[in-house]
Chain A
Amino acid sequence: MSDRQAIFDTVAAQIAPFNKKGVELTETTTFQGDLEWDSLTVMDFVAAIEDEFEIIITMNMQAEIETVGQLVDAVEKLKQA
């Protein structure tokens, strides 16, 4: 399993408790449109991801992340830094 796939799986596991509608997750699933998350859910989820990977996703970065794939990319990059 590639590193990226492992990150995707971990991200998916973190999404699960917030995925109340059971939306199927792909690279292009969007947090706002598909998962219908409000700003409070996003805040809780980001904190959980940060703690899982021991990284910081600044609010500036969060503004650029719309899909699951983009989040996985960002985590991958931040972990290397």
Chain B
Amino acid sequence: MIEVLATTPHVTVQDHGRLGHLSEGVPRAGAADLAALAAGNIVLGNPEGLAGIELPRAVISLRFHRHTSIALTGASMIAGLGDRCVDSWTTLSVFAGQVLEIEPRPGGTYSYLTVAGGIDVPLVLGSRSTQLRGSFGGHMGRPLKIGDRLPVGAAPLRFPFCCPIQPPPRVGLAPFRVIPAAEYAYLDPESRADFWNGPWRVTAQCNRAGHRLEGPVLTMKGVPELRSHGIVPGIVQLPNGGQPVVQMCDAATMGGYPKIGTIIDPDLGRFAQISPGSIVRFMHCEASTSEGTASTSDTDWLASLAETHTPGPEADAATLDLLAAVSRLSACAGDSASEFAISRKAPDHTFRLRRDVWGI
């Protein structure tokens, strides 16, 4: 169980999203950066799609009530645990009673905390993601608040390990690939060029529902009356003011504004991570050539994580209790590289412990 000691708003439990309920008006929800959450599950040996905690530039303090291992992925952060301090893209072992404190660093928007066994909130309509407008899913259908106690799923206990995770091979502000949509054809020729050339500044109106962009004013002629139609994350709409809005994972399922294109799925997690004030550009992409999208760089990267990360040997609770005690003692001594032989105290576990190697 994980207890929330302090948190900023908008921290939610998310998984890979709620699919199959568009026709009932239920948005996808799920992690804004699906690949970052997936990476956190892979390196812990979790089954695909377990839920984690999404941290949108959040300051949060969490107490762990049992021994476990966690992964920190996504946007850069400062995470403090005992006398250790780490950034995103690392696995970490946590002893029962320890407090993890996280605050954001510049660069990126969404960080993820995954835990061995996953955040075990109930499945609602096939997903553990928080559906904010419908107030269901996640932890009681709402963002986390002080005093919340999050259940953690069953998972084997493991010897402490702390190892870096290879971040995705993304170029943060490389052009985002867009497939033109129905009303692209109605853009004036200059506006078509302006759309591709930009540059587009990401405004402060940027959240899980949508990103509002600012740049050259785009104009259209002769757009027929549009009737309400189902939409998906990534669609770039053009409301009356001529400034595009990109629909994100919590966007309503139905839209009526002209749509000039769709950012393809493989680029959408990277797009979610851009910070307000950033300058972005779009790159024309044809539906036929975007696959590519079936084997994207994120997909290859996740596959390589699955090959290179093994969650380590299993341990029993008594051994971890002992290691936790040793860790506390050595932290008091202030010596992070000291070597302990614990074979005499625990004859069944005759390994040698170096805090800096084992990461405790």
Do they bind each other? Answer: no
